[in-house]
Structure 1
């Protein structure tokens, strides 16, 4: 008696998982993708290191101090006192280049004759002419007036700000630039990859073989999930590398401010990219030639580019950022930025994320319908109305 094995079709989850694994595998085997990811990670690391170098405090100016000059320099963080026994010893240190200036009692400098009366002027050294100086000390330079030393020793009146900004404007600009670039590059790179894959399968007629094994819905789900997983993994790698770099280079202040906003950025990106991926696949399915991909995906590409430009140019405009944080296509960039700037209430990210989830569900349903209705239609471009209607 011969037992005939029963053929079982794969379930929806199995089919989608197979397609997702195929998408991930093809990306990992792509040399261009690996190299571009390494370059992107290296760029992030270099940016963090350069930020540490340029943000580090300059070494204090070394100054030779004589007599009461030591008391004037004491407590000034930007100056390092080098004790000198007398004015002659201080002058030798200055001429040898071991110090940038001499800080000494004014009467001692006037009586020593190491500088002429014309050189001891308020215009160049910050002191009055001899005999009428209201200062107890004089700062002496070698070839140029040591203005940085004189400025460090100057008395600065108390300064108050009526409405202080929570974050330094320049720092806010670079954080906005970072969020915008990461979102723009990752979404555009993987979105275009999905679009190219869809058109390639239509153009080579491979799609007919695939649809004989898996459903169009499973095929689209696998493509979206596979590329979304790769995009999210890239974002997590970038965020992890940036956090480790900030910690190693001692930028704890920036690290503390960025931590929460980075976590929200990852959450928003994970959902927002699913929406964009579905739209890239759906629009690409309406054409049969790779030459037409750029044209049909242009509207989705603009939706990716718009948040980047808006957050870069309007990162200091609270009203624009607030509006952007509730628009699904710009929320992944705007809401983390508002969290970093401490402009968002605790409930706002939750509400914005809920709006993004609902919008993603609608986009995926519409995209799946367009994708399913357009896959087997070759030749002329499928109109949007026809793709939606079927």
Structure 2
């Protein structure tokens, strides 16, 4: 355990001393904070259209939503205000119009003005609790993007670190002092700590942004799903990190990393896109919430919308843990059998049977 933690500290220290890593992490957190604040402020602001109207027209539209009425003496003054750019449009009484009003604009009618003046029928929803499809998409996109970016960023870093140690022969010195599996475990643990640090930072700024913009209802809904997402993210990241380290050990040059890590990349990308594209398909989402590479995204999304029974996240987590144990065992074997093989790429069959 002491040797494993020493390797993990080495991985963490090298990243924290990297200026590019620190700057990119800060930029990511600031972007997340700006996105939450912008979304909250824009959602809380009601868009208004500034219009000129004589007294009789103003009385007719005073209850119309989203209109800021500027008084005008008559139609001629209202048209003058439009031409001068003081208002976006004018509304005047017109007995010949079916609605009794006419909208006057310079070149085009402001968006939403005609809709605000239109007579709309009464709407009765049979399913008042139906979810907004746009909200579902953004929740799936948010969870998916965070996991995808963390897995790809740190996974590629682990693979590059393994190949660099092989190229410089540093690995020969390392494994003369510690077992190969300890080296693998330290790399995975160190990068997992860094990835979880980023996730917790993003959660913190999201909470701050939601509180500042008074989106308490959304914050309450995100509570339990975010906790589950953190748990699933932890084991899902360990799963992918072990695979990236193992496949990185199969080559001896940085230029060849893509040839072995490509399949792992597809294993992370495919579930990410499937969960986003089929976020409104209950059958697909149920299946993907039990697939190890997509469970960290699929299950929290279902929990957020209350579509999963109480036992489902526990079963999904058990499947993910069993997958982690199996994949780590396979990854450790590949890593051990490939780490000291220099030159040509090690074939998967040879790495598993050597």
Say whether the fold is shared (TM-score over 0.5): yes
- Matched with 2:124 is 160
- Matched with 2:138 is 174
TM-score by length of 2: 0.86
Post-superposition offset of 1:205:
1.5
Is there any run of 5+ residues in structure 2 with no aligned partner, and where? none
Q: Which has the higher helix share?
A: 2
For 1:68 and 1:100, the matched residues in 2 are separated by 13
Post-superposition offset of 1:356:
0.7
User: Secondary structure in 2 aligned to 1:122?
Assistant: coil
Post-superposition offset of 1:357:
1.1
Post-superposition offset of 1:303:
0.9
- Matched with 1:38 is 26
Post-superposition offset of 1:165:
6.3
- Matched with 1:301 is 265
Post-superposition offset of 1:237:
0.9
> For residues 6-85 of structure 1, what are the structure 2 equivalents within 5 Å?
13-55=1-43, 56-59=45-48, 66=55, 70=59, 76-79=64-67
For 1:164 and 1:205, the matched residues in 2 are separated by 65
For 1:99 and 1:231, the matched residues in 2 are separated by 50
Give the direction of change, closer, same or farther, for the CA distance of 1:166–1:339 in structure 2 (3 Å limit).
Answer: farther
| Kept in 1: contact 2:49–2:110 (CA 8 A) | no
Tell which deviates more after alignment, 19-28 or 297-306. Answer: 297-306
> For residues 227-376 of structure 1, what are the structure 2 equivalents within 5 Å?
227-376=191-340
For 1:57 and 1:177, the matched residues in 2 are separated by 26
For 2:239 and 2:111, the matched residues in 1 are separated by 58
Tell which deviates more after alignment, 306-315 or 274-283. Answer: 306-315
Post-superposition offset of 1:93:
7.1
For 2:111 and 2:347, the matched residues in 1 are separated by 71
For 2:209 and 2:76, the matched residues in 1 are separated by 44
For 2:57 and 2:269, the matched residues in 1 are separated by 62
Kindly provide the CA deviation profile for residues 206-231 of structure 1, in whole angstroms up to 9, marking residues without a partner as x. Answer: 11111121111211111100000001
Kindly provide the CA deviation profile for residues 309-350 of structure 1, in whole angstroms up to 9, marking residues without a partner as x. Answer: 112221222211111100000111111122223322222112
Give the direction of change, closer, same or farther, for the CA distance of 1:251–1:57 in structure 2 (3 Å limit).
Answer: farther
| Kept in 2: contact 1:194–1:280 (CA 8 A) | yes
| Kept in 2: contact 1:224–1:278 (CA 8 A) | yes
Give the direction of change, closer, same or farther, for the CA distance of 1:244–1:375 in structure 2 (3 Å limit).
Answer: same
Q: Larger Rg: 1 or 2?
A: 1
Aligned partner of 2:182 among 207, 218, 242: 218
Does 2:106 align with 1:121? no
- Matched with 1:389 is 353
| Kept in 1: contact 2:292–2:323 (CA 8 A) | yes
For 1:139 and 1:287, the matched residues in 2 are separated by 74
User: Secondary structure in 2 aligned to 1:240?
Assistant: helix
Give the direction of change, closer, same or farther, for the CA distance of 1:227–1:145 in structure 2 (3 Å limit).
Answer: closer
| Kept in 1: contact 2:148–2:269 (CA 8 A) | yes
TM-score by length of 1: 0.79
Give the direction of change, closer, same or farther, for the CA distance of 1:152–1:329 in structure 2 (3 Å limit).
Answer: same
| Kept in 2: contact 1:94–1:102 (CA 8 A) | no
- Matched with 1:88 is 73
| Kept in 2: contact 1:78–1:152 (CA 8 A) | yes
Post-superposition offset of 1:257:
3.1
For 1:194 and 1:150, the matched residues in 2 are separated by 57
